[in-house]
Chains A and B, each alone.
Chain A
């Protein structure tokens, strides 16, 4: 019962870890490059969710100061502010890797990593 209570109280952390593991599973098991990029995005979402959860305070208010009422408890604004940097970085690496995939498709005609490896092997074998 104690374990169940702890799990329910910290369900957002467990959800964040589940997102991270799902993303890692997608990156490792799929050979389609687009699916791998989606996996990296899911992993990033898990990390952001974990980071923002740290700043939460049970019963706290959003960090917009109420000037009429001075005795409110506010949640921690620091993780929310810092995670904006992470979101920007994930957007940047997503677009960069997508453009690399476009180039790979133009060169090899496929976006499956195993087939690309086969084509490269064939080329080195022919030489």
Chain B
């Protein structure tokens, strides 16, 4: 879609959407939100980019290679955090008893492994939304051409 209003406004607004998504992910344990909602916002910002600037440009920003790493990396990061619990206490995904610092409740640096898991979930959900959208829209692109 080649329209100067759309391009200018999206170029202005997409960084703010992404910052808001990262904020939602990182503050998942002290305010409403979390990995799923923040990841959805991050993914939506890149879907907006794809809709405005086209698939080829978006592929340069977020290629299949990057999405492969993000997909597998999200799950592996999650399991890695869980394995810390299995080595320390013998139970999978143990939080405070496995030695994660509890911090002071209400502050950003608190709640042990919860922010770490939230980052993993956020990366996973964001890359899933982008990859699914790109896959479906590429197919339509190639089918019509």
19 of the cross-chain contacts (CB-CB < 8 Å) are A62-B32, A64-B30, A64-B31, A64-B32, A67-B105, A67-B106, A87-B36, A88-B36, A95-B132, A95-B136, A98-B136, A99-B135, A99-B136, A99-B139, A102-B136, A102-B139, A102-B140, A102-B143, A106-B143
Determine if A58 is an interface residue (Cβ-Cβ < 8 Å): no
Tell me the complex Cα distance, A8–B120, Å.
42
Shortest 6 CB-CB contacts between residues of A and residues of B: A95-B132, A102-B139, A67-B106, A84-B36, A98-B136, A99-B136
- Provide the residues of chain A in CB contact with B105, threshold 8 Å: 65, 67
How many whole Å from B110's CB to the nearest CB in chain A? 11
- Provide the residues of chain B in CB contact with A99, threshold 8 Å: 135-136, 139
- Provide the residues of chain B in CB contact with A87, threshold 8 Å: 36
- Provide the residues of chain B in CB contact with A84, threshold 8 Å: 36
Report the count of interface residues on B (CB-CB < 8 A).
12
How many whole Å from B145's CB to the nearest CB in chain A? 13
CB within 8 Å of A: which B24-51 residues: 30-32, 36
Name the residue on B nearest A98 (C-beta): B136
User: Given A65-B105, A95-B132, 15 other A-B contacts at CB below 8 A?
Assistant: A62-B32, A64-B30, A64-B31, A67-B105, A87-B36, A88-B36, A95-B136, A98-B136, A99-B135, A99-B136, A99-B139, A102-B136, A102-B139, A102-B143, A106-B143
How many whole Å from A35's CB to the nearest CB in chain B? 18
Number of A-B residue pairs, CB cutoff 8 Å, is 21
Q: Interface majority SS on B: helix, strand, loop or mixed?
A: helix
B interface residues (Cβ-Cβ under 8 A, vs A): 30-32, 36, 105-106, 132, 135-136, 139-140, 143
Tell me the complex Cα distance, A106–B143, Å.
8
Tell me the complex Cα distance, A102–B141, Å.
12
- Provide the residues of chain A in CB contact with B136, threshold 8 Å: 95, 98-99, 102
- Provide the residues of chain B in CB contact with A98, threshold 8 Å: 136
Tell me the complex Cα distance, A84–B28, Å.
14
Tell me the complex Cα distance, A67–B136, Å.
46
Tell me the complex Cα distance, A75–B30, Å.
17
How many whole Å from B133's CB to the nearest CB in chain A? 9
